[in-house]
Amino acid sequence: LEWAVEHDIDIASISMGGPDSVALREACDSAYQAGVLIVAAAGNTLHGKVDYPAAYGSVVAVGATDREDQPESYTAKGNEVELSAPGAKIHSTKRDGQYGTASGTSQATPHVSGVAALILSAGVNDLNNDGLTNNRDVRLQLLMATRDLGDPGWDDLYGYGIIDVNRIFNSRPIQLPDLSLSIRDDRDPVFRGHWFNYSLTIQNNGAADATDAKLLLTNPVDMAIKGDNCTPVDGRLNADSGGSENSDPVMECQVGWIAKNGGTRTLDIAAKMMLPGVTSTAVTKARVVTPLEANTADNSIEESTTISNRPPTAGKVRIDAVMNTAITTDNVLHFARDQDRDTLYIDSSDSVSRAGGTVINHGDGTFTYTPPKNFTGSDSFNYVISDGHGGTAIGTVEIKVRIALTIDIEDSADPVIAGENIVYTITVTNSSPVDVTTIKLLIDTQGETGIGVLSLDNNCEKIANNGAICMIEKIGKNGGAVQLQITAKALAPTTTHLYALLISDNDNIHASYAREKTTIIKPNSNPIAGADHASTDENTPLTITSMLDNDTDADGDRLHIAAVDEISKQGGTVTLANNGSIIYTPPAGFNGEDTFQYTISDNKGGIATGTVTITVNNSSDPSPPEENLSVPWAGASGLLMLLILFVHILGTALLHTRYRARTNRNR
């Protein structure tokens, strides 16, 4: 198709079809706009949908008929069918140089292309009265060179009828749609940045149905438009701004079927004005066309809409500053509003505040303010915001400059055991170059129940909820400080806080604030050391590694051996090894019962003393009695004596074994 345009081809005959393609659609539309008449097979879809490219509005879709001028069973059916031609058993050339027959819409298409060529050869008239003779006029002449079959007028199988070459110079009048258009907006004026609606009504005053009407919209500079079944021609659909206004449409909306003799279709198109300026007028142009563009050349219409810009509003900004200390504001544009949703920016600002402070405009909506030296009190400066479209507003930053005092709170112990007292020391320091007089220090637990106030310094009195208020008559300048002490009782195990806040009746003191966290733990329980027993042999050292096995702690604390007696009750030595085991060495030659004591600890102040009893066994064994036996050896009597001797020795051995076993058990 691109080649056809480049080589000034008049007719493109396409006997093939397939799925939709953006590239194919654009190629067909471009070729048609360039003057190429495109004729394509509707498709052999068994009365299904028309194939592409025949289904495009820029293409003449051709269906197939048989020898009795009946639609073939395989021919496509739909609104896009424009003409029919013979397609059954068509005798033609084949690719191998032979002749043969074939059937299908691909065979019907060349009939129409050939008739179009005859029309071009005979000369083309300006049938649509647009002042030009081109492919659109050939397309209309093809419709007039048909025999109407099927339903009167157009139908979805024959289209406008079957092509009849004999009618080229004796054409019949053909009924075409005649479309008119009206447009209105739903509000005028409209505000920038807000969506509104165009309602467009297309009416068909012709004697034929419009089968594939399209609405073409041209919007002005900086207008976004969108609508159902609408496609942007230049990519501006749903955009926040448009391009330069020109005569080419920027939106193509599919209207579809419009019944003849007064049938109507209404489309709603949403638009959003983005034009600059306080007041302006936007003109939207609309035109409705059919693929033939017959009787539709003069239906263009325009709608003018007034655009209004609403100025922004600047919110109030209040900040607190400290004497002789610069402060940078938050972005003041966060407090501004614009009903048109324009992007706001700082246009200008004061460089000196009302009281003589300096103001630096950073250009991003923030300012740095430095108060006059040693100044306290109220100050302010102004700034101007703009929406970029002529709308402006003046904003004010109000500043309260105060003296800043620092508060520090320290507790006497942390953690502290429940039931014990805590002493809080509160220090208020004045680093400013002026003395501070008559201020109040508010002390509070803010409802926390971990502590209860017991006693206060002078000039302090209790208030509700375990709080207190203290009067401070004066704090000297340049580092002067005042200290207060408060005694409180730790009530129950928890994590609690004491809060302190400075307030001043003359509003010249910055609201300084501090808090101190205190952890209250429950009282510690002492561990319990159980009695321990062990045994060893005489003169044999003993290592004990499980001394803590029967010792307990109610708090679940981990225990360890803190100390042991170095000398046992009977004079043995006791040593505590680095690994926590105990080595006991009995006195030399001692056997019997010995004891020593050890101390355990839970590492939280809890201790207990336990006793270890050691049994030292006697290691010496008694000797068995000696026997002098003489056994005569003579005949049978000798044998008898030998047997008696054997029994005696065996009995003595058994007796000695039982004696040693009993001795070992006693150990």
Give tens-digit pLDDT for 316-369. 899 999 999 999 999 999 999 988 778 899 999 999 999 999 999 999 999 999
Compare 257 and 163 and report the one with higher pLDDT.
Answer: 163
Closest by CA to 309, choosing from 208, 222, 369, 182, is 222
Q: How many CB atoms lie within 10 A of CB 302?
A: 10
Compare 56 and 229 and report the one with higher pLDDT.
Answer: 56
CATH 2.60.40.1530 domain position(s) in the chain: 405-521
650 pLDDT higher than 80: no
Cα 198 from chain centroid (whole Å) = 36
Per-residue H/E/C for 185-222: ECCCCEECCCEEEEEEEEEECCCCCEEEEEEEEECCCC
Choose the weakest-confidence range: 68-82, 176-190, 254-268, 554-568: 176-190
623 pLDDT higher than 50: no
> Given 2.40.50.140, 3.30.930.10, 3.80.10.10, 2.60.40.3880, which CATH number is that of 179-308?
2.60.40.3880
The share of the chain scoring above pLDDT 90, in percent, equals 45
Question: Is it true that the peptide bond before 586 is cis, omega within 30 degrees of 0?
Answer: no
What is the spatial distance between Cα 2 and Cα 14, in angstroms, rounded to a whole number?
14
Choose the weakest-confidence range: 96-105, 190-199, 209-218, 291-300: 291-300
DSSP string for residues in 399-421? EEEEB-EEEEEEES-SSEETTSE
Q: What is the pTM of this model?
A: 0.45
466 pLDDT higher than 90: no
Quick one: pLDDT band at residue 197, thresholds 50, 70, 90? Answer: confident
CATH 2.60.40.10 domain position(s) in the chain: 317-402, 532-617
Q: Give the pLDDT of residue 98.
A: 92
Compare 341 and 637 and report the one with higher pLDDT.
Answer: 341
Q: Give the pLDDT of residue 642.
A: 52
Query: What mean pLDDT is reported for the chain?
Result: 84
Choose the weakest-confidence range: 113-117, 421-425, 501-505, 658-662: 658-662
Backbone dihedral angles phi then psi of residue 122, each to the nearest 5 degrees: -80, -15
Q: Give the pLDDT of residue 653.
A: 47
480 pLDDT higher than 70: yes
Compare 153 and 483 and report the one with higher pLDDT.
Answer: 483
490 pLDDT higher than 90: no
Residues 2-167: name the CATH superfamily: Peptidase S8/S53 domain (3.40.50.200)
Mean pLDDT of 590-597: 95
Mean pLDDT of 73-95: 93
461 pLDDT higher than 70: yes
Mean pLDDT of 593-612: 93
Q: Give the pLDDT of residue 344.
A: 94
In one-letter notation, the amino acid at residue 466 is N
Quick one: pLDDT band at residue 636, thresholds 50, 70, 90? Answer: very low
> Given 2.40.160.40, 3.30.420.60, 2.60.40.10, 3.55.50.30, which CATH number is that of 532-617?
2.60.40.10
Choose the weakest-confidence range: 229-238, 295-304, 380-389, 496-505: 229-238
**8 Å CB contact between 127 and 173:** no
Choose the weakest-confidence range: 87-96, 269-278, 372-381, 649-658: 649-658
CATH architecture of 405-521: Sandwich (2.60)
What is the spatial distance between Cα 364 and Cα 328, in angstroms, rounded to a whole number?
12
Phi-psi bin for 459: left (phi > 0), alpha (psi -120 to 50), beta? left
Report residue 291 as tokens. 């693929």
Question: Is it true that the peptide bond before 622 is cis, omega within 30 degrees of 0?
Answer: no
pLDDT digits (tens, 9 = 90+) for 227-271: 888 877 654 433 333 333 344 557 788 888 888 899 999 888 888
pLDDT digits (tens, 9 = 90+) for 10-41: 999 999 999 999 999 999 999 999 999 999 99
State the distance between the two ends of the chain, measured CA to CA, in whole angstroms.
Answer: 118
Distances (CA, A) of 608 to 546, 581, 583, 599, 611: 17, 17, 20, 6, 10
Q: Give the pLDDT of residue 213.
A: 81
**8 Å CB contact between 480 and 435:** yes
pLDDT digits (tens, 9 = 90+) for 526-538: 999 999 999 999 9
Q: Give the pLDDT of residue 172.
A: 62
Query: What is the DSSP-derived secondary structure letter of residue 71?
Result: B
Compare 463 and 278 and report the one with higher pLDDT.
Answer: 463
> Given 3.40.50.1370, 2.60.40.10, 3.40.30.10, 1.10.10.10, which CATH number is that of 317-402?
2.60.40.10
**8 Å CB contact between 458 and 471:** no
What is the spatial distance between Cα 313 and Cα 330, in angstroms, rounded to a whole number?
17
Distances (CA, A) of 114 to 107, 142, 170: 12, 11, 17
Q: Give the pLDDT of residue 246.
A: 40
Quick one: pLDDT band at residue 488, thresholds 50, 70, 90? Answer: confident
Compare 7 and 230 and report the one with higher pLDDT.
Answer: 7
What is the spatial distance between Cα 297 and Cα 34, in angstroms, rounded to a whole number?
18
Closest by CA to 401, choosing from 537, 531, 280, 510, is 510
Q: Long-range contacts of range 58-61, CB-CB < 8 Å, 24 or more positions apart?
A: 58/28, 58/29, 58/31, 58/32, 58/33, 58/291, 59/14, 59/28, 59/32, 60/112, 60/139, 60/142, 61/159
